[in-house]
Structure 1
Amino acid sequence: MKVINIGIVGTGFSAKAHMEAIRRIPYLRVAAVAASSMEKAQQIAEEYGIPKAYGDASELIQDNDIMAVHNCTPNYLHYAINREVLLAGKHILSEKPLGLSSIQTKELALLAQNSRGVSGVAFNYRHFPLIAEAKHRISKLTYGQVNLVYGGFLQDWLLHRTDYNWRLEPAYNGASRALADIGSHWCDTVQYVLGKKIVKVFADLKTVHPTRLKPPETAGMLKGQSDPEYEEIAMRTEDYGSVLVHFEDGIQGVFTISQVSAGRKNKLFFEIAAEQGSLAWNQENPHSLWIGHRDQANVELSSDPRLLCESAAQLAHYPGGHQEGWPDALKNMLIDFYSVVRDPSLKSTAAVRSFANFDDGNQIMSVIDAILESHRTEQWVKIS
């Protein structure tokens, strides 16, 4: 079995998660890492036993030994790196968003269509076993036609005015924050389960903290420094928002996104109400798919592969009761992505490919653009 040499660009949370997932798949190998400095790259390379280190992403991309690149950099760097990889004809798996604007993501989607490499976006919530099971049941009309969908994605990591991160600055993260960062995951996951795209939105967004306190670079690093001097920064992106949505075929819904909900760490959840039953799933309890009935007892389906349809069972790697979670969904995404890399004939076969490609990433950016326009104009906006 031919080993695929992979280059990781970035050294943060997502980069390390990708490295660990890659190591769980026998025919994949992290062969190089690139960082913002050679010192940082060498440090990570030594820590993870990676053969090559680069202080410049372009050097990694042009390395002839590297067959695929994982773009795990901050958002403002995504477009340029993704574009360079596509033009080099290599495989690219990018963290979302593909770029900071729909102009950038549309260009990348067009380049990807004509590239000899495989391109994917890390919308990994698609790859939980019970998400595949829900998709299967919806597609088979097990509960009849879907009427409505509701849910959201809630976090609390930006609850306090003193919470600060580069994602709060539009120059690094784009015009939207909460909706683009985590709302994009909700939209992609629910569109995937339904097999229907969002076609129209009506949004109401809010910034809870008009200004935030940015600590100095050395805050918390100097001995005895208990009261650092903060810089007051005006906020131009949303902390939370609620969005009414229309999907294809008349399905309606609503979702709420928040990064200021105390106690909620990473709650992506949805409920799909159909003619004869409902399905509900919560990422913080991913091993249970709630099935609601009117005239009989409700049911909770576990992620036991013996109880799931074939496509869902393939994503559950251990017997029932051996719980799998977020890292395993990331591993499933890589298995899916690299199965297409190994067999390019599958590239255009949507029935085989379940990972999000650059067309999907571009479509999600169009949804985010429409949400921002809807909030600004206080009107329904169609997805372009």
Structure 2
Amino acid sequence: MGLIGPGFVGAHHIDAVRRLGDVEVVAIAGSSQKSADQKAHEYKVDRAYGSYQALIDDPDVHVIHNTTPNHLHFPVVMAALAAGKHVISDKPLAINAEDGRRMVEAAKAAKVANVVTFNYRGNPLVQQARLMIAGGDTGDLTFVHGHYLQDWMTDPNVYSWRSDPSKGGVSSALGDIGSHWCDLAEHVSGLKIDSVLADLTTVIPVRYSSGASAEAFSRGNSAERIAVNVTAEDLGSVLLRFQGGAKGSFSVGQVLPGHKNDLVLELNGRSSSLKWRQEEQNELWIGHQDKPNCVMAKDPSLVTSGAAGYVHLPGGHQEGWADAFFNLIRDAYGWIRNGASPETKPALLPTFADGYRSACLVEAMLKSHAAGGVWQKVSGGLSA
């Protein structure tokens, strides 16, 4: 594999691939030769390239991991697909739905593996919840709700490329973490969001930049700063209508003190409810009306057979974010080894079609808010 864009999440891509034990990390490409050399030394990778095209052209690289800022996803992915390379891209796939659609079509034409890192699908109890719902344990779903809240952008002195529409796109919180929540809601419920009504806010309209982009969850420096006007949302709430009649809602925010990576998904059915919290990811809450509620712990002897393959340790041994990420990467490389055909794709894996759908959802939410808070149908009909 070769990694393009070695920032915060790039290290986790490399870690997951090395845990596989049979995939070589060949090269890293950065924004300059100097930065690439530094990261290659840090990650103990032999080859470093100062441009993404140079890495793509390396004949020893078979799989491209794209962890660049959002605005580079389209050119990097399209160049990799043109070279016939498999691609594992960070989310969001594209900064607009049209680019996402073109990437889906290019991946189909290239007949290669195409994966988007909606990594929360890799949690064993997420798969347990999905299989319980598919098996009828909850009855028909009536309400799907939750939130994804963080605080790393609470300080106005934190200025990231995510706040720059030319690099992060016109959406910030929705595209960055709302995309995760919506993908998880659709994946677990088995339902598609049909229409949305969004109320969005920019809590911090002026940020102060040192000229360098802060990585997510990093501490800022004390360099002299300039004021930058910000228009992208950092807080929002969305009402949802699902196909089939279920209702839903969720909130996102990255300026909420005390919330580090607080992703919650709850699904209420006619006979029982399920709730999963990312910060307590080894537990699945099961709610009942006519008997006591219970909490199911992550345990390979308790989960269904379809989820057991994603549990690596016995009950009582906690597994975390990196383990769920590894599960997704393991499935991705399993798919590649099996020929990367649509028929052999593991159910867990999110493809470019899922990334395109995410872009359609975000665009519908932005349109809903811009129209003054009215219901907006979700466009885009590609399937995975």
1:144 pairs with 2:139: yes
Aligned with residue 181 of structure 2, among 186, 190, 200: 186
Question: Does the CA-based 8 Å contact 2:286-2:295 persist in structure 1?
Answer: yes
Question: Does the CA-based 8 Å contact 2:175-2:362 persist in structure 1?
Answer: yes
Structure 1 partner of 2:206? 211
Aligned with residue 331 of structure 1, among 326, 329, 332: 326
C-alpha displacement of 1:363? 0.5
Structure 1 partner of 2:218? none
CA distance in 1, matches of 2:306, 2:262: 24
Structure 1: gaps of 5 or more residues: 1-5, 220-225
Structure 2 partner of 1:222? none
1:13-28 equivalences under 5 Å are 13-28=8-23
Structure 1 partner of 2:94? 99
Question: Does the CA-based 8 Å contact 2:159-2:213 persist in structure 1?
Answer: no
1:37 partner letter: S
Structure 1 partner of 2:359? 365
CA distance in 2, matches of 1:140, 1:55: 50
SS at match of 2:197: strand
1:324 partner letter: E
1:197 pairs with 2:156: no
TM-superposition CA deviations, 1:90-136 (whole Å, max 9, x none): 10000012221111111001111121211000100001000000000
CA distance in 2, matches of 1:69, 1:193: 28
Structure 1 partner of 2:37? 42
C-alpha displacement of 1:46? 2.3
Question: Does the CA-based 8 Å contact 2:94-2:355 persist in structure 1?
Answer: no
CA distance in 2, matches of 1:217, 1:111: 33
SS at match of 1:269: strand
CA distance in 1, matches of 2:340, 2:79: 24
CA distance in 2, matches of 1:217, 1:204: 30
C-alpha displacement of 1:228? 4.8
CA distance in 1, matches of 2:5, 2:206: 29
Structure 2 partner of 1:258? 253
SS at match of 1:338: helix
CA distance in 1, matches of 2:212, 2:226: 11
Cα root mean square deviation, aligned: 1.6
CA distance in 1, matches of 2:357, 2:340: 24
SS at match of 2:350: coil
C-alpha displacement of 1:216? 4.6
Structure 1 partner of 2:104? 109
- Structure 2 vs 1, CA of residues 270 and 218 (structure 1 numbering), >3 Å: closer, same or farther? closer
CA distance in 1, matches of 2:375, 2:154: 29
Structure 2 partner of 1:295? 290
CA distance in 2, matches of 1:263, 1:127: 25
1:161 pairs with 2:156: yes
CA distance in 2, matches of 1:216, 1:46: 25
After TM superposition, which residue ranges in structure 1, 4 or more long, deviate above 4 angstroms? 216-219
1:56 pairs with 2:51: yes
Question: Does the CA-based 8 Å contact 1:336-1:353 persist in structure 2?
Answer: no
TM-superposition CA deviations, 1:289-331 (whole Å, max 9, x none): 0001111111100110100001211101111111111100110
- Structure 2 vs 1, CA of residues 218 and 381 (structure 1 numbering), >3 Å: closer, same or farther? closer
2:359 partner letter: M
CA distance in 2, matches of 1:304, 1:260: 35
CA distance in 2, matches of 1:258, 1:299: 29
1:28 partner letter: V
Question: Does the CA-based 8 Å contact 2:239-2:250 persist in structure 1?
Answer: yes
1:74-85 equivalences under 5 Å are 74-85=69-80
2:129 partner letter: A
CA distance in 2, matches of 1:151, 1:108: 30
- Structure 2 vs 1, CA of residues 50 and 230 (structure 1 numbering), >3 Å: closer, same or farther? closer
Structure 2 partner of 1:8? 3
SS at match of 2:244: helix
2:355 partner letter: G
Structure 1 partner of 2:171? 176
Question: Does the CA-based 8 Å contact 2:159-2:208 persist in structure 1?
Answer: yes
- Structure 2 vs 1, CA of residues 279 and 59 (structure 1 numbering), >3 Å: closer, same or farther? same
- Structure 2 vs 1, CA of residues 177 and 227 (structure 1 numbering), >3 Å: closer, same or farther? closer
SS at match of 2:279: coil
TM-superposition CA deviations, 1:28-59 (whole Å, max 9, x none): 11111111111221222223221211111101
CA distance in 2, matches of 1:320, 1:228: 47
Structure 2 partner of 1:87? 82
The TM-score with structure 1 as length reference comes to 0.94
